[in-house]
Amino acid sequence: AWAAATRVQIGYWRNTQTLFEHALAVTRDNHVVHANLGAELARLGRTDEARGHYAEALRIKSTFPKAHLSLGALLAGEGRWEEAMAHYEYALAHRPDSATAHLNYGLALVAVGRGGEALPHYEEALRLDPRYAKAHVALAGLLDDLGRGQEALAHLREAVEARPDLAEAHGNLAIALENAGLGDEALTHYRETARLLPEDPRAQYNLAAALEERGADGEAMRHNQAALRSSPESDEIRAAVARLIARGGGGDG
């Protein structure tokens, strides 16, 4: 009987979306499933449908922190920072131990020009989760703005240690290292950023610029060309390609 029941459930488990949709069909007023389905729809880029499920989750349970956080993130992605902040504040009121809520609220504060208020939220996020790489990156950016470059550098190093696959951390660390006069180490992280983001023109261009500065024109040309394929309208990248050609066709040395 258990095996038969399992086969029935597998019939609904074609993907995460259908699993949650089935759960909604067989339950009533399930705020958790509405929030989870909303998150899956948001991941698929179906933001209007996601918004509806987040709203339904909050209709059922207005104090549900996960739905407030998710709806806040959706609004932030649309640039509606003030509305996002209201949801983050609600999430923090009910889950002050949520590192994600502290980070997201801090990001929203920075976005609306209240960066000074973000600092304690980034610090609290890291107190709650010391290996929260995105919080290290966010705090590093704020510290750099405050002229605390060495502290920022330390946080970026912690970010790449905690999340070696986080391209943003490598990219920001590369820039910070270069600004600190540590160009060779910076090049390593420019390379890693470009490896993690092969279609990102900025990642490819930044690596190309670092290589060109070190006389590796051939390799720089290859990365500039990759950047140009992703962003053919960029005058900045076109100028870099033209400069390398004029200097000798982009040959190494």
Q: Express as a percent the part of the chain with pLDDT over 70.
A: 87
Residues 167 and 116: their CA atoms lie apart, in Å, by 26
| Choice between 156 and 30, residue whose per-residue pLDDT is larger | 156
Instruction: Let me know: does 237 contact 228? Beta carbons within 8 Å.
Output: yes
Instruction: Tell me the pLDDT tens digit for each residue of 142-151.
Output: 999 999 999 9
What lies within 8 Å, CB to CB, of 84 at 6+ separation is: 72, 73, 75, 76, 104, 108
| Global pTM value | 0.82
Q: pLDDT, tens digit, for every residue of 73-94? A: 999 999 999 999 999 999 999 9
Q: Following DSSP, what letter does each residue of 20-59 receive, concatenated?
A: HHHHHHHSSS-HHHHHHHHHHHHHTT-HHHHHHHHHHHHH
Q: What is the pLDDT of residue 40?
A: 82
Taking each helix axis from N to C end, the angle separating 31-43 and 65-77, rounded to the nearest 10 degrees, works out to 20
Residues 6+ apart with CB under 8 A from 227: 201, 202, 204, 205, 208, 234, 237
Give the model's pLDDT for residue 21.
56
Q: Would you place residue 17 in the very low, low, confident or very high pLDDT band (cuts 50, 70, 90)?
A: low
Terminal CA-to-CA distance of the chain, rounded, Å? Answer: 72
Q: What is the pLDDT of residue 252?
A: 46
Percent of the chain at pLDDT > 90 equals: 71
pLDDT one-digit tens code per residue, 224-241? 999 999 999 999 999 999
The predicted pLDDT at position 229 comes to: 95
pLDDT at 44 over 70: yes
Residue 250 pLDDT exceeds 60: no
The yes-or-no verdict on residue 7 having pLDDT over 70 is no
Please tell me the predicted confidence (pLDDT) of residue 12: 43
Write down the pLDDT at residue 22. 44
Question: For residues 68 and 34, what is the distance between their CA atoms, to the nearest angstrom?
Answer: 12
The C-alpha angle with vertex 249 and arms to 207 and 229, in degrees rounded to 5, equals 50
Instruction: Output the six-digit token pair for 242.
Output: 């033209």
